[in-house]
Homo-oligomer: A and B are copies of this chain.
Amino acid sequence: MEIKELGEFGLIERLTKDINPSNQSTVKGIGDDAAVLHYSDKETLVASHMFMEGIQFDLTYIDMQHLAYKCAMITMSNIFAMNGKPNQLIISIGLGKRFKVEDLDQFYKGLKAACGKWSVDIIGGDTTSSYTGLAINMTCIGEAAKNEIVYRNGAKPTDIICVSGDLGSAYMGLQILEREKTVFYQQVEEYNKKLKAAQEAGNTAAIKSLNAEREVIFNFQPDFAGKEYLIDRQLKPEAPGNILAQLRDSHIHPTAMIDISDGLASDLKHICKDSKCGCRIYEDKIPIDYQTAATCEEFNMNLTTAALNGGEDYELLFTIPISEHAKIEKMENIRQIGYITEQQLGEYIITRDGNEFKLLAQGWQEE
């Protein structure tokens, strides 16, 4: 169905009719000039992200449902990274003419799935046309008690640097998707060449045989066997809310925290800069999934570079006082990868063979 058949107000009504706010802090959601929230005894947290077609996402390999899910998880992840709880989400979307009402249905399906997972209310937004690609903006609002908020600037020398989950997997998932996309386009191009040649030669038998092949080519099934985890990490990332619950249960309060979106190196450097300190991390402590390692070998890529700079991990990177060492050690899914130092000692990674390399936001460099 064309969007213009419904109009702006009709479209909004269709997409939002079954949205019912459930959080106590949501006084009024969709339907007025502004949403009304009640945050009496907690601090309010706000984070906003823009996602542009061709830059942050490629609709060749992510569908509207996964896209909405991913964008929502990324935005919520910022609230978790403050040790907060996300409560509300506002969505703006700029849509080119090629999108149909059904695309928006899929988008909202993914959005609702992501919000449902963390009991987040969809409280409003804006829908507009776009002359060009798809543009998405999400703003997440959450809460945290004042003394529970974890900023980037609280790390102290001797603090232990911890990271949840594993790193580099979303990046390697992207590599696989890019490769399959290339394979697909190559097949299409070759097919078109052959067809053109057959048509020019008037080779009816060849044209017939190529027409039979057509469906196989255009129903290309990418080969993800054994790489399912990586694809999932790229297309369906999860906000790290469970890690916070684990830390709370163990009465561990991080001194500094950030979610890993740009890559471990870049995000650890943010903590160091804001906390005015240095760091040492150990290459062999960085958590890496087996599929990530195997795929790096297959692609002839450096595994540590993928883990340090791949990005899109949406894991939590945080520091804890050294006194909490024993508590953390027991936790599945959290790895201690190094420690915080005085600022003048710089930011370094210690490789498996004992060498120290300066940590750079993009890659790492021998000194």
Contact = CB atoms under 8 A, between A and B. Distances in A.
A47 B33 contact: yes
Of the four ranges (under 10, 10 to 19, 20 to 34, 35 or more), the interface on chain A belongs to 35 or more
A92 interface: yes
A125 interface: yes
Contact of A129 (B33, B49, B55, B274): B55
Contacts of A139: 46, 48, 90, 139
A34 B45 contact: yes
A46 B55 contact: no
A242 B51 CA distance: 36
A39 B36 contact: no
* Chain A binding surface, main DSSP class: strand
Given A48-B137, A50-B94, 16 more contacts: A28-B151, A33-B47, A33-B258, A33-B259, A35-B47, A36-B45, A36-B82, A37-B44, A37-B45, A39-B40, A40-B40, A40-B41, A50-B135, A55-B129, A90-B139, A131-B133
Interface of A: 27-28, 31-41, 43-56, 78-79, 81-82, 84, 88, 90, 92-94, 123-126, 128-133, 135, 137, 139-142, 144, 146, 149, 151-153, 257-259, 274
